A and B are shown apart, each in its own frame.
Chain A
Amino acid sequence: MSAPAEARTALRRTPLYDLHRELGAKLIDFGGWEMPVQYAGILEEHRAVRERVGIFDVSHMGELEVTGEDALSSLQWLTPNDVGRLADGRCHYTAFLTEQGTFVDDLLVYRKRADSWLLVVNASNTPKDFEWARAHSRGNVNVVDASNRYALIAVQGPRAAALLGGLAADDPSDLAYYAFRETSVAGFPALVSRTGYTGEDGFEIYLAPENAEPVFRSLLEEGRAEGAAPCGLGARDTLRLEARMALYGNDIDETVTPWEADLGWIVKMKKGDFVGREALAWQKTEGVPRKLVGFEMVDRGIARHGHPARTASGDGVVTSGTHSPTLGKPIGLALLPTAASAVGSGFEVDIRGRAARAQVVETPFYKRAKSVAGVEEER
């Protein structure tokens, strides 16, 4: 059996590193960060989130603070979604785009006030995003990379609201999806948003780094009755893929546009100009050459990121692929020529030299049974 080679550069650690070791986590290099990939096991942690509640350290994520009197107009220019629609205490999913309309990154934008915003970006893209946002900002606006001042804990699953309810100063179950507030958790100041990357109800808790460990411990302790489990990035990946949430660097990057990624809903063409708009307008007229689609395997095998895909209309590529713990079978996302991207279309994946048949299917692969608080998710 061959083991994957591991790089030996100095890895960055989150404030929860020691606790991960104490909990017996298996740690891996994730984009330069030494992160827990699993504790008890990916399948078990995945199940914990789908059925109960899971607690994730995602402190590696980057945080940019955007302030100043022109913050709103600047963010309208920087991002394709319409920040003008956000009230104080609301956030949404959006992106930074290149002039070609492709993804510099995907991110969440939080509006605290019209002149104070928080942007949450992918860990490995943080320096790039910071430079990009600074370079493209307009008017009286200040962009700060505040990543070192934030730890981030995600609490995800049908029992998340009950768990957090026992610890937060304000009942989190009355937060709407993609709403947030500054409150306290286990006695520590925290920004709590009803967001996540798992396809379940859940919350993300932004904290000062020194408060991350006591809060994580309190969540584990309080969560015992709810069947809470610490969860690693392995389960985070299977959970997000079942929910068809894109992973930057796998499914989307600087070659993929929102139209191609089926993320057109984050692009508000009528809101006014923004970086990448012209290219997106052009592509909308011309039509997209390829589309990101969900697939299942017809033959045996697990298609993985980077495996070539072959269709009658040309070549494509698998961008994400794994064994779906919920469905008990292999699933994935692939960029396929548009002519070959309709649901039901068959194609072939080259799995390490073996041709295996696959079929385009509807996504998401998994959708939770019911919504909460009567507020529909903004997507």
Chain B
Amino acid sequence: MNPEDLHYTTSHEWVRIDGDVGTIGITDYAQKELGEIVYLELPEVGHMFNADDEFGTVESVKAVSELFTPLAGEIVDVNKAAIAEPGIVNDDPFGDGWLIKMKLTTDEEIAKLMSAADYAEYVKQEEKER
């Protein structure tokens, strides 16, 4: 399910922290909700973002969803393979289907994100409310 070593947002992104670089993607729950992803709009390397900024969009055949940065930082890499074959995000959302890497400005905001267990609980609540 949701890997233990990641941090999660209420808007269903995850971030993996490795030194001062965060790798960001969408969760398995998010990709399932969207259905087959056919298009990704991602920022260019060098762009700066605050936390909770919209950094791109992910589109299935029917739906468009905005993507939000879990943390502040500068884009240092985008997943070109996923842009070329967005289905990778469905197949492996926590692995090969990552979206962007950011050089993080600060690690202070990490505490605001959810653990895997908290996120699982959050999703359960969200499903109940529908």
Residues on A facing B (Cβ under 8 Å): 1-4, 6, 26, 37-38, 41-44, 234, 237-238, 300-302, 304, 322-323, 325, 330, 352
Q: A3-B12, A304-B64, A330-B39 are in contact. List 15 more A-B contacts (CB 8 A).
A: A1-B11, A2-B11, A38-B35, A41-B35, A41-B36, A42-B36, A42-B60, A42-B62, A237-B62, A300-B41, A302-B38, A322-B61, A322-B62, A323-B59, A325-B61
Residues of chain B contacted by A1 (CB below 8 angstroms)? 11-13, 26, 30, 34, 58, 65-68
Nearest Cβ in chain B — how far from A8, in angstroms? 9
Give the 8 A-B residue pairs with the shortest CB-CB distance, closest first: A323-B38, A42-B61, A1-B12, A1-B65, A2-B66, A1-B30, A43-B36, A1-B11
The answer to the question of B33 belonging to the interface, with a C-beta cut-off of 8 Å to chain A, is yes
Bitwise interface map of B from 50 to 79 toward A, beta carbon under 8 Å scored 1, else 0: 000000011111111111100000000000
Residues of chain B contacted by A325 (CB below 8 angstroms)? 61
Contact partner of B65 (CB less than 8 A), chosen from A3, A26, A44, A323, is A3
Nearest Cβ in chain B — how far from A239, in angstroms? 11
Nearest Cβ in chain B — how far from A273, in angstroms? 42
Residues of chain B contacted by A352 (CB below 8 angstroms)? 57, 64
Nearest Cβ in chain B — how far from A350, in angstroms? 14
Are B35 and A4 in contact (CB-based, < 8 A)? no
| 16 A-B pairs in the complex with CB atoms less than 8 angstroms apart | A1-B30, A1-B67, A2-B11, A2-B68, A3-B65, A26-B35, A38-B35, A42-B62, A44-B36, A234-B61, A237-B62, A238-B61, A300-B39, A302-B39, A322-B61, A352-B64
Nearest Cβ in chain B — how far from A20, in angstroms? 16
Residues on B facing A (Cβ under 8 Å): 11-13, 26, 30, 33-36, 38-39, 41, 57-68, 130
- For the complex, give the distance between the alpha carbons of A26 and B62 in Å: 12
Contact partner of B61 (CB less than 8 A), chosen from A2, A3, A300, A323, is A323
Residues of chain B contacted by A330 (CB below 8 angstroms)? 39
Q: How many A-B residue pairs have CB under 8 A?
A: 59
- For the complex, give the distance between the alpha carbons of A6 and B11 in Å: 16
Residues of chain A contacted by B35 (CB below 8 angstroms)? 26, 38, 41-42, 234
Residues of chain B contacted by A43 (CB below 8 angstroms)? 36, 38, 61
- For the complex, give the distance between the alpha carbons of A327 and B26 in Å: 27
Closest residue of B by beta carbon distance from A233? B62
Residues of chain A contacted by B59 (CB below 8 angstroms)? 302, 323
- For the complex, give the distance between the alpha carbons of A40 and B68 in Å: 28
Residues of chain B contacted by A26 (CB below 8 angstroms)? 35
Residues of chain A contacted by B41 (CB below 8 angstroms)? 300-301
Nearest Cβ in chain A — how far from B83, in angstroms? 9
Residues of chain A contacted by B68 (CB below 8 angstroms)? 1-2
Residues of chain B contacted by A44 (CB below 8 angstroms)? 36
Residues of chain A contacted by B63 (CB below 8 angstroms)? 4
Closest residue of B by beta carbon distance from A237? B62
- For the complex, give the distance between the alpha carbons of A301 and B68 in Å: 19
Known contacts A301-B41, A302-B59; is-contact A2 B65 (Cβ 8 Å): yes
Nearest Cβ in chain A — how far from B25, in angstroms? 10
